[in-house]
Structure 1
Amino acid sequence: MQVLHVCSEMFPLLKTGGLADVIGALPAAQIADGVDVRVLLPGFPDIRRGIPDAHVVSRRDTFAGKISLLFGHYNGVGIYLIDAPHLYERPGSPYHDTNLYAYTDNVLRFALLGWVGCEMACGLDPFWRPDVVHAHDWHAGLVPAYLAARGRPAKSVFTVHNLAYQGMFYAKHMDDIELPWSFFNMHGLEFNGQLSFLKAGLYYADHITAVSPTYAREITEPQFAYGMEGLLRQRHLEGRLSGILNGVDEKIWNPESDLLLASRYTRDTLEEKAENKRQLQIAMGLKVNDKVPLFAVVSRLTNQKGLDLVLEALPGLLEQGGQLALLGAGDPVLQEGFLAAAAEHPGQVGVQIGYHEAFSHRIMGGADVILVPSRFEPCGLTQLYGLKYGTLPLVRRTGGLADTVSDSSLENLADGIASGFVFEDSKTVTPGRCLSSKTVTPGRCYARFGVLLCCGHGLRFGGLYNGRRWRWILAGKLPRNHTASCTIA
């Protein structure tokens, strides 16, 4: 079977979020499972620089201008690049300018991505043609629509990484992207009078996947579906909506081999994790003390991520002697709030505004607890990294967080399945109350880490990549009304 992934970013070539991490690992896992997999990406500058061997496969004159299709390899995965400098050769973010305004021609930039994904199934590369085209998030949402317009020359899968981002454009752009106007209706890609790339993927795909079983259920409900609940509920009833957990790429996230850590460790060498904590405290300007719990945040600073709750709970955590190390950027109000806390509590709160991939590894290796109190979280990778590094996740029970973290309740502790701290979406159970009993200590965190690894809960992509269920989906044989779970290996 030949599968083409179509997406806008891929770690480590270009990353703005968790989508890149998935695309950086899933194709390689599928190749190891015997699937012939390639990836199609826009020719953004960072991606072009990372694939210097890319050569021309085809040239076309398209609705978005003249383009070349390039092909090369990265880490053993075949990569197609759309070479269109007039669309993609821009500094900074692939989606917006330096003032954070979306590029005005994004409709063409990402319609082209979908069009090329479809044309690959029609012989754009005369030497390789996919049986399945797998589109990711709204940027690639038009792939299934173009395939439908061409008579479905290949099967399509559309993965929702975050339903909140929908790719909405004015209806007039239907004239610009070479799709029939007959597609612009409620039984198509129209949504609230606009052209929705996301709805195009949801409506025309042969199968839809979400990045966790719980999120697949949540997006059929109004509070999580952003108006798409009717369509998604119908796809669920048709057996065309599944949830499959993301996983961890162990080549990148593994405390035993992570060269970005001050000191590598396993459950048998936990004293080395303590050394990482000491180095992290020094780097963040915190008081060096191996007896106090060190909480961490590595996240975009937004209300969706629940970080206003962390600010609310912070005084109580600090009163109990805890420390906080934060790495992130986003909402100016939240940024100022955490910077003010750092100024008010020197030695207890350390804040770095921005994102640095290498430093995120150091935080994961040195902290005792990683905070992920998201209001919604399709899957979440941060808590998986925490489990891998013995840094216990504190999470809200939603989406993939609910699927991957078991609360340290007395029952779960007795059964040996506890893996972190979980609070409900209520005013009576909050992050602060989860920890108010002073039960979180470095020693207990390390003990939980030992139990996790003894029970086989060290996560890796090989363990969370569910080859059987992906093969079912790619072959169109998934049982009706099936919501996939994933066994932690």
Structure 2
Amino acid sequence: MDILVVSPEAGNWQIPSPLTTAVNRLTDAFAQAGVNVVTCSPFYKNHLQNLESYKCVFRGAERLHGKPYEVWVSEEDPLHTYIYNEDYFGRPYVYGPPKSVPYGDNHLRFAFLASACLSYAIETKTKVQAILGHEWGGALVGALAHNIYKEEFGDVPFFFTVHNITYDFHVRSDEIERIGLPRDRYNMDGYEFWGKVSLLKAGICFAEKVLFPSPGYRDAMLNTNLPGGLSGFLSHNADKLIGVQFGVSYKVWDFNREEQLPIKEAKHRARLQLQESFHVNFGSKLVLYVHLDDEAGNTSETLATILADITKQEVFIIVGISPEDPEWHFYQDVSKQYPDILHVLPLDKETENVKPLKEVLAGSDVLFAANLREPSTSIILKALACGTLPLTGFNVGVASMLSDYAPETAGCANAFLVEDENAPHQMLRRLKDALHVYKNEVADWDKAVVNAYSGFHYEWARTISKYLLILGELGL
């Protein structure tokens, strides 16, 4: 099977973005499953590593506007193909300067990307059986395949992955033809959005199936009043929407991968190492980790509301937070007042912090994850790979696939879940439940840790197997 993948971000970046990481993992998993995948993204010279390893292998002109494009590849990275045009992709930023307005011609830039990818597939005689677009930057490949490139790709199904529905790009309606969209679908049920064109809606319109990065996120999108009336549009297209849980790389996040110790011994060792690195003594306390990155949602607000109550429990709190975060000084002050109760772990926003994050997850007992905004909630999967039990809501991303602890489910439980993760009192009550099990039902706790670590193993291969199953149901 040959699949053409179009993404605004992918490949060997110096500092991978969340989208780059996800697309790269999906690409690797496709290849490992025996799929001939061609993942195309822009050639960003300011972001890619080892530029000297790349070479231009093709020059052509795309069909939409007749603009020239170059195709770059690297022997070190054979699964990725890069499209280059100096005017569009020779800029210092991907979408525009940070914390500023995006480039005004982003719709033209990524329409060009889609058109050049399809053109290159034709020139290389790649017999594409499916096309997969990522995010709004890869949305227009579906429209172009069924219009400008209809002769070659009109019968090829288009699949659209929405990693985060809050990201979109809106275009004036007089630009419709310039990006290859048919005007007859410019309406409320099509890609119209408050008098403009939504590239996200355009991707959904032309997709056979729309894939979300977790079942919980898909359900949340259908049951949440999204701004601008997008909820009604999604409900109208509900049959297209599928939640496919994104995985994590256990080569990276399995804290016990090398030593392969019994999990109880491995957790005990990780706990001692964490104590030593923080120069604290956890004693017999339950260690609670709170990860406050950009995807943490209202987790900090929930924690702050019940922090005084938590400090009265046999709990040691570790807060992972960036020094640039507005809440940094608050948690620093608390840690200085109560060093035996709370410790602050600085997070670097520019990196994934794999080593320190894995160490703190492995040494912790519970991950406090309230209202996460991250659609795939990979932090929960990373916690599970470290034998750490998540405390979160039933409807938070992957949590809908987890097993909540109760005395009657003790043999299969791997999490502590609440009905409303936005309700601080529910999170506090469930934390007290977890503490009770940790202190008084040791056998149940040990079993839950085993269930989390080895019973819920969600690699990217499982994600791709579901992608391929969806393709197979369409006869591909």
Instruction: Quickly name the TM-score band, shorter chain normalised.
Output: 0.7 to 0.9
What is the deviation of 1:37? Answer: 1.1
* Corresponding residue pairs, total: 461
- SS state at 1:319 partner: coil
Q: Measure, in 2, the Cα distance between the counterparts of 1:184 and 1:57.
A: 35
Q: Deviations 1:335-387 (Å, cap 9, x if unpaired)?
A: 44434433443352213143342332222222222222125553311111111
Q: Contact 1:207/1:241 (CA < 8 Å) preserved in 2?
A: yes
1:418 aligns with 2:418: no
Give 1:434 deviation, angstroms.
1.1
Matched-pair contact (CA < 8 Å) for 2:61–2:116 = no
What is the alpha-carbon distance in structure 2 between the residues aligned to residue 225 and residue 120 of structure 1?
38
Contact 2:111 2:179 in 1 (8 A): yes
Q: Which amino acid aligns with 1:341?
A: V
CA contact 1:394–1:421 (8 Å) conserved in 2:
yes
- 1:175, distance to aligned residue in structure 2 (A): 6.0
Shift of 1:230: 3.1
Q: Deviations over 1:281-324 (max 9, x none)?
A: 444x4623252222223342467353321222322222224233
Distance in 2 (alpha carbons) for counterparts of 1:207 and 1:14? 32
Amino acid at match of 1:394: L
Greater mean alpha carbon deviation, residues 102-111 or residues 184-193:
102-111
The answer for the alignment partner of 2:269 in structure 1 is 275
Give the whole-Å Cα distance in 1 for the aligned partners of 2:34 and 2:219. 30
Matched with 1:300 is 293
Task: Tell me the residue number matched to 1:79.
Answer: 80
| Cα distance, 1:406–1:429 mapped onto 2, change above 3 Å | farther
The one-letter amino acid paired with 2:427 is P
Alignment of 1:90-489 (within 5 A): 90-91=91-92, 94-121=94-121, 123=122, 125-150=123-148, 151=150, 152-153=153-154, 154-174=156-176, 176-223=178-225, 227-237=229-239, 240-257=240-257, 265-266=259-260, 268=262, 270-283=264-277, 285=278, 287-301=280-294, 304-329=297-322, 332-347=325-340, 348-355=342-349, 356-357=351-352, 358=354, 359-374=356-371, 378-413=375-410, 416-425=411-420, 427=423, 429-437=425-433, 438-439=435-436, 441=438, 446-453=446-453, 456-462=455-461, 464-465=462-463, 467=465, 469-475=466-472, 477=474
State the shift of 1:390 in Å: 0.3
Q: State the shift of 1:211 in Å.
A: 2.0
Task: State yes or no: 1:55 paired with 2:49.
Answer: no
- Structure 1's 46 and 460: CA in aligned 2 closer, same or farther, altered over 3 A? farther
Structure 1 stretch 417-426 or stretch 56-65: which is displaced more? Answer: 56-65
- Going from structure 1 to structure 2, the CA distance change for 1:361 and 1:3 (only over 3 Å counts) comes to same
Runs of at least 5 residues in structure 2 that lack an aligned partner in the other structure? none
Which protein has the bigger helix share? 2
Alignment-mate amino acid for residue 414 of structure 2: S
What residue is the counterpart of 1:483 in the other structure?
none
Report the counterpart of residue 88 of structure 1 in structure 2.
89
The alpha carbon displacement at 1:56 in A equals 2.4
Q: In 2 relative to 1, CA 155–351 (structure 1 residues): closer, same or farther, beyond 3 Å?
A: same
Kept in 2: contact 1:397–1:422 (CA 8 A)? yes
Using the size of structure 1 for normalisation, the TM-score is: 0.82
8 Å CA contact 1:60, 1:66 repeated in 2:
yes
What is the CA distance between 1:247 and its match in structure 2?
1.4
SS in 1 for 2:391: strand
SS class of match (1:295): strand
How far apart, CA to CA, are the structure 1 residues paired with 2:395 and 2:104?
34
Fraction of identical pairs, as percent: 22
Contact 1:59 1:67 in 2 (8 A): yes
Q: Quickly say closer, same or farther: Cα 1:130–1:324, change in 2 above 3 A.
A: farther
Q: CA 1:8–1:326 in structure 2 vs 1: closer, same or farther (change >3 Å)?
A: farther
* SS in structure 2 of the partner of residue 58 of structure 1: strand
Matches within 5 A, 1:5-84: 5-10=5-10, 13=13, 18-45=18-45, 48-50=48-50, 52-60=53-61, 63=65, 66-72=68-74, 77-84=78-85
Distance 2:387 2:71 in 1: 43
Say if 1:397 and 1:155 are closer, same or farther in 2 by CA, change over 3 A: same
> 1:440 offset after TM fit, Å?
6.0
Amino acid at match of 1:308: E
Counterparts in 2 of 1:103 and 1:39: CA distance versus 1, 3 Å: same
CA contact (8 A) 1:163 1:226 kept: no
Q: CA RMSD in A?
A: 3.3
Q: Does the 8 A contact of 1:299 with 1:305 survive in 2?
A: no
Q: How much does 1:270 deviate?
A: 3.7
| 1:311 counterpart SS class | helix
| Equivalent residues of 1:304, 1:374 under 8 A apart | yes
Q: What SS is found at the alignment partner of 2:132?
A: strand
3-state SS of 2:368 partner = strand
Gaps of 5+ in 1: 258-263, 480-489
